[in-house]
Amino acid sequence: MRLLDYLNDYADQDIYPMHMPGHKRNFDFLDGVSPYRIDITEVAGSDNLHDSNGILKESMDMAARLFDSYRCWYLINGSTCGLISAIFALARRGDKILMARNCHKSIYNAVHICGLHPIYLFPPVDPEFGVNGSISPQQVQDALEEYPDIRLAIITSPTYDGVMSDVATISHILHEHKIPLIVDEAHGPHLGFHPSFPKSAITEGADLVIQSIHKTLPSPTQTALLHLCSSLWKNREKLQEMDRRISDSLAIFESTSPSYILMAAIDNCVHMLNDGKESLFHEYIRRINMFAKETRVLKHIRILCKGTDSVENHPLFFGFDPSKIVMSIRNLRLTSGEFEELMLKKYKIELEMIAADYALALTSICDTDEGFERLLHALIEIDQEYGSDTPKPSAPPLVQESMMKMTVSAAKDMPDEAVRFSDSAGRISREIVFAYPPGIPLIVPGEEITEQIIANIQDLCANGITVKSTFGTLPKVIHVVEV
């Protein structure tokens, strides 16, 4: 079967997408233009992404004004390209960088490429839902006191699960030491467009912010934005220097043949928000609030910070993004894999992600009343049919304390040896091991593999969660540093 045939067959099945991309295949938000009709190259008048001075520059300038950044670059290689380019632009080989351990694996790839020495900040774990909480300002302050030679900091806010960190205070602490802050805001391009959502890191003091607009806005997969902000660098000369360094990095890591289909989609998304964000987000918040209210009838499934739960019940959260629907299934007589299959087969709902204890549905301004109602109906029926008064034991979190024995770069430069994963305790990993989604490493190259980590990953696999590794040999074999 051709891939195109499969995609067309899938689209005909009436499966509702509670996952990215944010356009949700909702044709009310899409132009319906054949991609082949507008798939061009750099011709007269179409401008050049890597040397923009015409229509693309005008569009990116509009995006900067819309998001309130100093400069905005369109990315057609996703946030991965933006994150690697940002780190490459600001860090020098051998630098110590402060980074949240729940960062996306692309950031670890940048650490390897740039030969950096990471100092990890481990987010706490919310005991009720098993998700990671916020990176606290105190953690950042303590790390700077212990490692005064840190040159760069990177955090993720919001996380994949919607947890926000206090970017304003964290950036203030870092700026007192002249340290720039990169925020992976891949899951938060919708932030700041309505008072019911938290503010974006762009306006909270971050210096570079990367957003995947395909995740929660009407834009196709791979489209993203990189923002330069005038937080640490306030004078024009320094901002222009940063502008040149980032542009130079993007010229290295982004395709020299950028897709005009994707750039046109970003431009269309920016214009749509610029012209109608008030009405679009008003309707979106109305749907979220109605869904949250109706979920109060659930007796066994709990929705994070919705229904009978609230952010005040989670002291390890600085804030929460209400667009995320995190469903705790500990009180169901179903594994997370069985829950996911039931949602798809019976209710025709494709979820974004499952973990051992919970499942995640992503929403956007392109969702419909029918989509929210379908999800609510499914949850009510499953709650009634499979609910249990005896919760399952809590599963281990995806990210937990680990021991770094050598840097990522040092580990990946070493010869490797393939060993049985069940027998790998005490060895140093040469692979990234991650559940995808969300793409957050469970094991990082250079970290020691422990019996607890082995048990946790085996538990994830038993619950039907896909665990991947660099060489694709898990769960049977893992590649470790040769001794």
What's the whole-number mean pLDDT along residues 136-158? 98
Most confident stretch, 22-26, 40-44, 153-157, 232-236:
153-157
User: How confident is the model at residue 397, as a pLDDT?
Assistant: 77
What's the whole-number mean pLDDT along residues 386-404? 87
User: Whole-model pTM above 0.85?
Assistant: yes
User: How confident is the model at residue 97, as a pLDDT?
Assistant: 98
CA atoms within 13 A on the CB side of 73: 33
Rg (C-alpha) for the chain, rounded Å, is 22
CA distance 61 to 337: 45
What's the whole-number mean pLDDT along residues 308-324? 97
What's the whole-number mean pLDDT along residues 291-308? 97
The DSSP result for 377-396, as a single string, is: HHHHHHHHHHB-SSPPPPPP
User: How confident is the model at residue 30, as a pLDDT?
Assistant: 66
Residue 124 has pLDDT above 80, yes or no: yes
CA distance 54 to 46: 8
User: How confident is the model at residue 409, as a pLDDT?
Assistant: 93
Residue 414 has pLDDT above 70, yes or no: yes
User: How confident is the model at residue 370, as a pLDDT?
Assistant: 97
Tens of pLDDT, residue by residue over 41-67, are 888 899 999 999 999 999 999 999 999
* Lowest-pLDDT choice from 33-37, 47-51, 108-112, 266-270: 33-37
User: How confident is the model at residue 39, as a pLDDT?
Assistant: 87
The DSSP result for 157-172, as a single string, is: SS-TT-EE--HHHHHH
| Residue 204 C-alpha from the chain's centroid | 19
H-type alpha helices, 68-193: 78-90, 105-114, 137-146, 167-176
394: alpha, beta or left, given left = phi > 0 and alpha = psi -120 to 50?
Answer: beta
Q: What residues contact residue 238 under an 8 Å CB cut-off, 6+ apart?
A: none
Residues 302, 127 contacting (CB under 8 angstroms): no
User: How confident is the model at residue 449, as a pLDDT?
Assistant: 96
Residues 246, 226 contacting (CB under 8 angstroms): yes
Q: How does the average pLDDT of the chain come out, rounded?
A: 94
Write down all domains in the chain, each with its CATH number in brackets: 35-265 (3.40.640.10), 276-386 (3.90.1150.150), 408-481 (3.90.100.10)
Peptide bond into 475 cis (omega under 30): yes
CA distance 157 to 140: 15
- Which residue, chain included where needed, has tokens 């660098």? 233
Q: Could you tell me the CA-to-CA distances from 399 to 136, 186, 310, 464 in Å, in that order?
A: 16, 19, 23, 18
User: How confident is the model at residue 104, as a pLDDT?
Assistant: 95
What's the whole-number mean pLDDT along residues 225-235? 94
pLDDT tier at 117, thresholds 50, 70, 90: very high
CA distance 357 to 124: 17
Give the residue, 243 or 32, on which the prediction is more confident: 243
User: How confident is the model at residue 464, as a pLDDT?
Assistant: 77
Residue 4 has pLDDT above 80, yes or no: no
The DSSP result for 322-381, as a single string, is: TTEEEEE-TTBSS-HHHHHHHHHHTT-EEESEE-SSEEEEE--TT--HHHHHHHHHHHHH
